[in-house]
Amino acid sequence: MKKIVFLMSVLFTIILTTTDSEAQVRVNGYYNANGTYVQPYTRSSPNGTNRDNYSTSPNYNPYTGSQGYVAPDYSQGAYNYGQGQQIYTGSRGGQYYYNSNGNKVYVPKRGGR
């Protein structure tokens, strides 16, 4: 019985470690177009949704210790972004509006999934 419990805990640890490592991407430091240096950081892997991103509420970023603040895709809170603006959908599914400077501002996805 002890062997079975031990093997199950080892297997669970392997699965948890594999899933965790696949969900993270290390981003090297770089310079923005305006010359500002951005420090290296770790983020969640891109996958077409924001529901598992560190910045999405109620998720928690283990590297910075901060709570997420962005509404999850297709949630009621997603409709609070860009109120009164025409929302466009890009060729890869991202949704955005144009601000007063003519720049795209991306918002959490809303509408039909």
43-82 pLDDT per residue, tens:
888 888 899 888 999 998 888 899 999 999 999 999 989 9
Residue 40 included in any domain: yes
Residue 53 included in any domain: yes
Domain interval for residue 91: 73-113
How far is residue 9 from each of residues 2, 15, 17, 28, measured CA to CA in Å?
11, 10, 12, 34
Residue 105 included in any domain: yes
Residue 2 included in any domain: no
Quote the number of domains for the chain. 2
24-37 pLDDT per residue, tens:
889 999 999 999 99
- Which residues does 77 contact at the CB level (< 8 Å), separation at least 6? 57, 71, 108
Residues 84 and 101 in one domain: yes
- Which residues does 68 contact at the CB level (< 8 Å), separation at least 6? 53, 54, 55, 56, 57, 58, 59, 60, 61
Residues 82 and 52 in one domain: no
Residues 90 and 65 in one domain: no
DSSP letter (8 states) at residue 51: T
Residues 110 and 81 in one domain: yes
Residues 45 and 80 in one domain: no
Q: What is the pTM of this model?
A: 0.60
Residue 8 included in any domain: no
